[in-house]
Chains A and B, each alone.
Chain A
């Protein structure tokens, strides 16, 4: 059997990802979740500041003994639309 540090759940990252999809405040499938012994790192774009805060809350609930590093960003699409000419 593979040894894991006593507090490192090898499936925790996927459990957090699944919870981010299922939580009705979030519904995000594209957040990257990285877990090590001390912290959970969250990365990717989300739609709003509220969703960004909820992402950290969900991770905190599932990994209460780790530091949550929330590196997600709120997507903004401020540039002028690009035009492409097709034949």
Chain B
């Protein structure tokens, strides 16, 4: 069995020091790994990341994270990444990591993701350069996610770790007008094409925990305000490799799937 602890949107800063650590004391007895689905900081100040790192020190299990939009706000991403990496935390962005846990190969593919909306109400790669850049960023990140998941095909268990939502299911509770800023169907399509056993995300504080992609991959929104807990635990009792879903390749998507970021 592999037990995955996950949380997102801790929005840490000096004023939050001491609030998370106590909740994590029993984590090593409950889980084998801790995954963080972005928005580690309040405004992306490396000092905020340092406070979080102190809180996570001594958790006693591997920690893997992606960043969220808040972590980008101060435009000091390299310093935030350095702070996390120096503390032994793996930071993913369009790449993957494989860990050996309980004799099983656990693969995690991570990407922040981005917005754009969902099938039937989605932004298009059309018109002004600014609009096209918005959509192309989501396409590029989704393509990286697909490639990162494909790199994990030899793993026994594959997790897609995101900040933005891949499905509207886990946005239920948010205002519908906000959906295009909360996630994109392109992320789910990438997950379904490559295959995964679970997709985790945050970002949507008023959303819902449970969802599923069109291809049947379970999706969980682990934003702390959604969980109403410090973290959730997902247990895989019988680990088996998931197969990619055989989706048709729409012509309008064929060109972007292998774009470099």
Chain A residues proximal to chain B, CB less than 8 Å: 24, 26-28, 30, 45, 47-51, 75, 77-87
Among A26, A81, A87, contact of B238 (Cβ-Cβ < 8 Å): A87
Point out which of B42, B227, B232 has the most chain A C-beta atoms below 10 A from its C-beta: B42
Point out which of A26, A47, A81 has the most chain B C-beta atoms below 10 A from its C-beta: A81
Residues in B neighbouring A79, C-beta threshold 8 A? 228-229
Binds A, one of B9-17, B106-114, B122-130, B142-150: B9-17
The 3 closest A-B pairs by CB, nearest first: A48-B15, A27-B43, A50-B15
Does chain A have a CB within 8 A of B73?
A: yes
Contacts A48-B16, A86-B197; is A80 near B11 (CB within 8 Å)? Answer: no
Residues in B neighbouring A81, C-beta threshold 8 A? 5, 30, 227, 229-233
Classify chain B's interface size. 35 or more
Chain B residues proximal to chain A, CB less than 8 Å: 3, 5, 10-13, 15-16, 19, 23, 30, 42-43, 45, 70, 73, 197-198, 205-206, 218, 220, 224-225, 227-238
Q: Is the interface of A mostly helix, strand, loop or mixed?
A: loop
Point out which of B11, B45, B218, B229 has the most chain A C-beta atoms below 10 A from its C-beta: B11
Nearest residue (CB) in A for B224 is A77
Among A30, A77, A87, contact of B229 (Cβ-Cβ < 8 Å): A77
Point out which of B12, B15, B229 has the most chain A C-beta atoms below 10 A from its C-beta: B15
Name 12 interchain pairs, CB-CB below 8 A, sorted by A: A24-B43, A24-B45, A26-B42, A27-B42, A47-B12, A48-B15, A77-B23, A81-B5, A81-B229, A81-B232, A83-B232, A84-B220
Residues in A neighbouring B238, C-beta threshold 8 A? 87
A77 touches B233 (CB 8 A): no
Q: How far is the CA of A51 from the CA of B70 in the complex (A)?
A: 15
Nearest residue (CB) in A for B210 is A84
Contacts A27-B43, A75-B225; is A84 near B232 (CB within 8 Å)? Answer: yes
